Structure 1
Amino acid sequence: MTMTPAQARQRVAEALARVAPEIDLADVEDDVDLREELDIDSMDFRRFVIELCQALAVDIPEADYGRLATLGGAIEYVRERVASA
């Protein structure tokens, strides 16, 4: 299965919205650190990862968390995981 960048962005946005509903990704650049830009702590970040796992029905190993640090990285990672699932 393939996913467009727009579809992947939507999945990431939905997962982040479940963790921090006040977040507006419209102003977030693809290359900025999500934790710093959105002021989310490590627990919120972990919840974000769990939300992505559930939404995509895939496991995300802890070794891959760094790839989810930026919006662009998260979008690309989601596309890769969906394509390989």
Structure 2
Amino acid sequence: MPGNLSRSEADSIVRSALRGFASDEDLAALTQDEPLRAALELDSLDFLTFVEKLTRATGVRIEEDDYPQLVSIHACVDFLATE
């Protein structure tokens, strides 16, 4: 996905988008490679809301074909960052 986000900015956006699905303590304890849907018990609507938050924060539409690339914080950062 084209963009101009650093890894640090992408990580911040991902964690911000996850707020509301977990407490700050739970998010801090979440490892970079932990599967988000399982760890935070996100159902399909929760995941769609997460994707919409990422889209609003980055200004770039994330297509349904991209969803498999958004499995963990690390994967989301890889997807969003350009560095």
Fold shared per TM-score above 0.5? yes
Equivalenced residues, count: 80
1:17-28 aligned within 5 A: 17=19, 19-22=20-23, 24-28=26-30
| Inter-partner Cα distance in structure 2 for 1:58 and 1:2 | 11
| 1:19-78 CA-partner distances (Å, limit 9, x unpaired) | 425253211111121010111111100000001001100110100001011111011111
Question: Which structure 1 residue ranges, 5 or more long, are not aligned?
Answer: none
Q: CA deviation at 1:4?
A: 2.4
The structure, 1 or 2, with the larger RCO (C-alpha pairs under 8 Å, 6+ apart) is 2
Give the alignment's TM-score, normalised by structure 2. Answer: 0.83
Moved over 3 A (4+): none
1:10 alignment partner AA: S
The aligned counterpart of 1:2 is: 4
More helix by share: 1
| Inter-partner Cα distance in structure 1 for 2:8 and 2:39 | 21
Question: Which structure 2 residue ranges, 5 or more long, are not aligned?
Answer: none
